[in-house]
Amino acid sequence: MSTLEPETGGPASAGQAADGWSNPLRDPRDLRIPRIAGPCTLVIFGVTGDLARKKLLPAIYDLANRGLLPTSFGLIGFGRRSWSDDQFRDWVKEHVRTRCRTVFRESTWNQLTEGIRFARGTFDDPAAFAHLGEIVLQVDADRNTHGNHAFYMSVPPSAFPVVARQLAASGLSESAGDAWRRVIIEKPFGHDLASARRLDETISSVFESDSIFRIDHYLGKETVQNLLAMRFANMLFEPIWNANYVDHVQITMAEDIGIGSRAGYYDGIGAARDVIQNHLLQLLALTAMEEPVSFSSHDLAMEKAKVLSAVRLPEDLAVHTARGQYAAGWQGEEKVCGYLQEQGVDPASTTETYAAVRLDIDTRRWAGVPFYLRTGKRLGKRVTEIAVVFRKAPHLPFESTATREMGQNAIVFRIQPDEGITLRFGSKVPGSRMEVRDVNMDFDYGRSFTGASPEAYERLILDVLLGDAPLFPTTQEVDLSWRILDPIEEFWGTQGAPEQYRSGAWGPAGADALMHADGRAWRLP
């Protein structure tokens, strides 16, 4: 019997999940991902794109290699290339071997490859979807997947409605008996509130609401989930997690790269729609939400929605928002061009590559505490972090010279690239004089845990196959996020071109002015 086949008789043994699927590669003490997906088929639209090649396919292999996928698993790629199944398998193997995070094992690959198929076609061709339906049925029969199908739309946002309608017309979205159908949609979910609602109406007409998974890969990152663990599993932090002690919060997602080959997608979208509407507002909600009754998808979504509904925009958008566009400069030792010189970008484009905004949350816990969100490309370094900055002590019984080099206490959640948590506080400098200076106490995932953290897409794909959605934004959250961003985008639309900033710097002067208006400054990560 294969080690991945369901075992019978007696209680679940070490390394075996409660649903009967054994997991020989996982330490029984490792409870990070304790459940194993049941029989199913995953269909990836846009399988030859960057996301599928770099993230999705390696994540699927790593799940299989960790023992988290059953032998009754099928993978179907849908694309325009004239490939046979064997050619597709060879192509998948090449990218999996290059990018997988676990050790590449021929035994795992051989088991996985038996369920891999390719369907050729375009999104607007009904015949291609009819042929896809035949392949799905064949995989169901060959792999005994029990008719359970998930559809991953790794495609441009404009193709979401087209693919959804084709799935409905071909009958692929319809399930029979206990079998399920699920759809996974990548961000951005809409261009504004109106388009998001139209898209939701289309998708909801094809799939049940609890079968729609709007993926935000940042929510699958280990440090994001650890934010919840740190807040609600410890008495140390929660008592000071409020306006009595917190001065402000800074949420940063900085990239040191430009748009690369994404001009077709990025120009006209911009930094705010690309990052603030989804990633950063989700991080804000997790940082500010109240303790949920449980960590079920319903209870988590309810608390996040409460926070987003309480967000208040700044009264003066000219003062408390900023946008910029990177100009030519140096990124390390490399001279790089400006955004307007990138291939495929309109030379007259007003699309921002940097966006910053102050938001307030009108609740008892957070009244008077500003949340500063910023994101940009071609900045000083690649970093994503949440910094909770505390008020200064109301009284310092020291000479003024003793604390002149001391700043404000802070807790910093490093989401990427070096996952961990830093606690900044004042400590006496060794010597005969009383001198207090900032020091850091650091927790690093790589040093504290011997096992590597699962990649975000591993966690999220597994959640979809399990039908569990605690880390996926709901329709209500998407709606509330666009309600926050739309007025800002409308204001920026009346302001002409964004302010230029030098590549390799930390954004436009207007972003510094935003903070200076409140007597604060951005952290230098």
For residues 525 and 515, what is the distance between their CA atoms, to the nearest angstrom?
A: 16
Contact 450, 421 (CB under 8 A): no
Q: What is the DSSP letter of 467?
A: T
To the query of whether residue 131 is one of the catalytic residues in this protein, the response is no
For residues 425 and 31, what is the distance between their CA atoms, to the nearest angstrom?
A: 32
Catalytic one of 279, 298, 395, 516: 279
Q: What is the DSSP letter of 145?
A: -
- Concatenating the DSSP letter of every residue in 218-274 gives GGGSHHHHHHHHHHHS-TTTGGGSSTTTEEEEEEEEE-SS--TT-HHHHTTTHHIII
Contact 174, 181 (CB under 8 A): yes
Residues 6+ apart with CB under 8 A from 264: 344
Q: Which residue, 454, 445, 457, is CA-closest to 26?
A: 454
For residues 355 and 273, what is the distance between their CA atoms, to the nearest angstrom?
A: 10
How many Å separate Cα 353 from the centre of its chain?
A: 19
Q: Which residue, 479, 36, 460, 461, is CA-closest to 225?
A: 460
Number of neighbouring beta carbons within 10 Å of residue 157:
18
How many Å separate Cα 309 from the centre of its chain?
A: 21
For residues 250 and 415, what is the distance between their CA atoms, to the nearest angstrom?
A: 13
For residues 406 and 396, what is the distance between their CA atoms, to the nearest angstrom?
A: 11
| Catalytic center residues | 279
